[in-house]
Amino acid sequence: MTDVLLQVAVILGVLNAPLILAALLIWLERRFLALLQDRYGPNRVGPLGLGIVLADMIKIFTKEDWVPPFADRAVFTLAPAVIVITGLMSVAVIPITETIGVTDLNIGLLFFLAMSSMGVYSVVLAGWASNNKYALLGGLRASAQMVSYEVFMGLSLMGVVLMAGSFSLRDIVAAQQDIWFIVPQFLGFVIFFIAGLAETHRLPFDLPEAEAELVAGFHSEYSGMKFGMFFVGEYVGVTVIAAMIVTLFFGGWMGPVLPGIVWFGLKLLFFILIFILLRAALPRPRFDQLMAFGWKVLLPLSLLNLVVTAGALLLWKA
């Protein structure tokens, strides 16, 4: 009985951590972005402006939650829920330390890929249900971008799987005992990182919501907490991608001196900051450039990476 209770407690903890983290990330992003752009950012509410997190939450919960009369009401409500649910479920397979983590699936990596393929529906359905030209275009763009980069993401991870010989994320971290996979799988890391940016449609790949051409893309018609849920979903997505990068390429919880959870947290924070830094540093490509880059550069490269890794491993073994 205590076992079950403990498990439920871990699940609640691990699940709600990214939600709290998402709220904090909004603050972090605004402050860090402001720092990079030589301005202050939110610094009035509470110490360091941290109160803005609470203020934002109160604001977004009490805003009018408008469902347009021309929208498909049920699907319109379902869409933002999908992104939050799939995002949170991916967190389940991430091993935080040797002992902390919701579950250790033997197909952990596939579970992550499956959840990210389900996440596509949130943008497609939002675009369709809004019944708005910009939303539909944004939804189509977002889904074309996400499904394409999902392929490259899956293929780029095969190198890691080849080296670890397992889909269990815990095994993959354990296989990095001697050397982090960033060294032998640098190409895989680069592809995964780019694909991760595109999957979460973060800047510079935020074409589905490119405000200059598509208003706000698939969430043009969303307001209030439903809009907030897309926001939360995006930050949960960023957290998950950063956590996957840490787990797959940077040895997860491993590191000298400090306990595992601190290492994991530090590495996670580092990659989240990189995500924000990219937002400040890079311009947005055109949609055709993005798609061509994926199919013409990332796909051949990830296939090459796969075959070369396998060949090298077999040669090395022989």
Partner 1 sequence: MSDAYLPILLIFGVSALNAVFMVALSHILNPRRPTPQKAMPYESGMIPLGDTRARFSVKFYLVAISFIVFDLEAVFLIPWAVEMRALGWSGFVAASIFVAVLTAGLVYEWKKGGLDWD
Partner 2 sequence: MTLIYYLAAAVAVISTAMVITRSNAVHALLYMIVSLLSLALIFFTLGAPFVAALEVIIYAGAIVVLFVFVIMMLNLGAEATARERRWLQPKAWIGPAILTAILFAEFLVVVATEPAATGAPAGVGVKRVGAALYGRYVLGVELAAMLLLAGLVGAFHLGRRVPSGDEEDES
Residues of this chain that bind partner 2 (CB under 8 A) = 72, 74-75, 78, 105-107, 110-111, 113-114, 117-118, 120-121, 124-125, 127-129, 136-137, 139-141, 143, 147, 150, 167
Positions in 73-102 near partner 1 (CB under 8 A): 77, 80-81, 84-85, 88-89, 92, 102
User: Which CB, 59 or 73, lies closer to partner 2?
Assistant: 73
* Contact present, 67 and 73 (Cβ < 8 Å): yes
User: Which CB, 25 or 241, lies closer to partner 2?
Assistant: 241
User: Which CB, 70 or 316, lies closer to partner 2?
Assistant: 70
Q: How far is the CB of 39 from partner 1 (least distance, A)?
A: 27
197 binds, among partner 2, partner 1, none (CB under 5 to 8 A by kind): none
Q: Which residues contact 46 (CB under 8 A, 6 or more apart)?
A: 52, 54
Positions in 158-177 near partner 1 (CB under 8 A): 158, 161-162, 165-167
Residue 60 as a binder of partner 1 (CB under 8 A): the answer is: yes
210 binds, among partner 1, partner 2, none (CB under 5 to 8 A by kind): none
Q: Which residues contact 64 (CB under 8 A, 6 or more apart)?
A: 223, 224
Q: How far is the CB of 38 from partner 1 (least distance, A)?
A: 30
Give the chain's radius of gyration (CA, Å): 20
Rounded CA-CA distance 298/295 in Å is 6
77 binds, among partner 1, partner 2, none (CB under 5 to 8 A by kind): partner 1
Residue 56 as a binder of partner 1 (CB under 8 A): the answer is: no
55 binds, among partner 1, partner 2, none (CB under 5 to 8 A by kind): none
Instruction: List the one residue out of 260, 104, 234 whose CA is nearest residue 171.
Output: 104
Q: How far is the CB of 84 from partner 2 (least distance, A)?
A: 17
Q: How far is the CB of 196 from partner 2 (least distance, A)?
A: 17
Give 266-275's long-range contacts (Cβ < 8 A, gap of 24+).
268/239, 268/242, 268/243, 271/241, 271/242, 271/245, 271/246, 272/25, 272/28, 272/238, 272/239, 272/242, 273/28, 273/32, 275/197, 275/202, 275/238, 275/241, 275/242
Counts for the chain of helices (H) and strands (E), in that order? 12, 0
Rounded CA-CA distance 197/192 in Å is 9
Q: How far is the CB of 128 from partner 2 (least distance, A)?
A: 6
Q: How far is the CB of 99 from partner 1 (least distance, A)?
A: 14
User: Which CB, 47 or 69, lies closer to partner 1?
Assistant: 69
Residue 47 as a binder of partner 1 (CB under 8 A): the answer is: no
Instruction: List the one residue out of 209, 205, 191, 188 whose CA is nearest residue 306.
Output: 188
The phi, psi pair for 205, rounded to 5°, reads -100, 35
* Contact present, 248 and 164 (Cβ < 8 Å): no
Residue 213 as a binder of partner 1 (CB under 8 A): the answer is: no
**21, 31, 75, 103 from 81: Cα distances, Å:** 18, 28, 10, 23
Stretch that binds partner 1, among 15-23, 40-48, 252-260, 264-272 (CB under 8 A): 15-23
For 240, the enclosing helix (H) or strand (E) is: helix 224-249
125 binds, among partner 2, partner 1, none (CB under 5 to 8 A by kind): partner 2
Q: How far is the CB of 91 from partner 2 (least distance, A)?
A: 17
